[in-house]
Amino acid sequence: MTRNQSDTFEIGEYTVHRLGFGAMRLCGEGIIGAPDDEAAAQEVAREAVDLGVDFIDTADSYGPGTSERLLGEAGVVDDAVVATKGGLLRSRDGDWLPHGDPEYLENAALASKDRLGVDSIDLYQLHRPDPDTEFEASVTKLAALKDDGLVDNVGLSNVSVEQLETARDHVEVATVQNEYNLTNREHEDVLAACEDAGIGFIPYFPIGAGDLDEKAAVVDDVAEAHDASRYQIALAWLLQRSDVTLPIPGTSSIDHLRENVAASEIELTSDELARLSE
């Protein structure tokens, strides 16, 4: 077995287990509005914490506002590090619209803090650079929010290595959240930069869903050897890919949640890792 990396990671003053929970799917269809059963959605969040998950990721644009509100009402914010994001709006037809204006980001952070019901936000991430706003202006505002005590740690999402380095000139960057999984490794260079700097790398869309068909043969072979599902193997690979990866699989199903958490117990061999990484 090759699994010798730490099961935990430090985000500022917080130590979290490296398999987290993505709370986007707690919203209604299309990530818009409330789910049909809010109590059931809150129960999923509580079950995640009961299973030992202590890192939860959300955003003000999920709902918008719904995911944050449900997490606050579920009472999990005192038992887990909650990371949220600002700087991405939702239109009525579901489009995602970057909005990184500094004053807007401050207002968004205040609203997120209120919905979550916390004294300060554990980790606040710029959801996406805004092409109509100077990137440094957005980052400088996040640094000011940290200095003012509104947020404890600053993260980035959907950034390049160059943008990460620019941000680090203005603020200590705790995490970067980019898309990354078995079949999409476009941001390999960003992961490498995070490894070099000891920055947490949060791979969103960690399972890759149907895209795993591209690697079906090897994934299915490894899954059979571990009596596991394809998706569990995808998560196990992410956890063993690097000491800084913090996968955040999301679901609205307690059964699926339990399956995801169980993936953290799978130990891939060096040969399996190599085959999956080809």
Domains and CATH numbers, the chain: 16-277 (3.20.20.100)
Mean pLDDT (the chain) is 95
pLDDT for res 2? 38
Mean pLDDT of 142-167: 98
The 10 Å Cβ neighbour count of residue 214 is 12
Tens-place pLDDT, residues 8-46: 999 999 999 999 999 999 999 999 999 999 999 999 999
pLDDT for res 91? 87
pTM (whole model) above 0.85? yes
Any idea which residues carry the catalytic annotation?
Answer: 62
Tens-place pLDDT, residues 167-200: 999 999 999 999 999 999 999 999 999 999 999 9
Contacts of 224 (CB under 8 A, 6+ apart): none
pLDDT for res 212? 79
Choose among 45, 48, 75: nearest CA to 262.
48
Distance, in Å, from the CA atom of 117 to the CA atom of 52, rounded to the nearest integer, reads 22
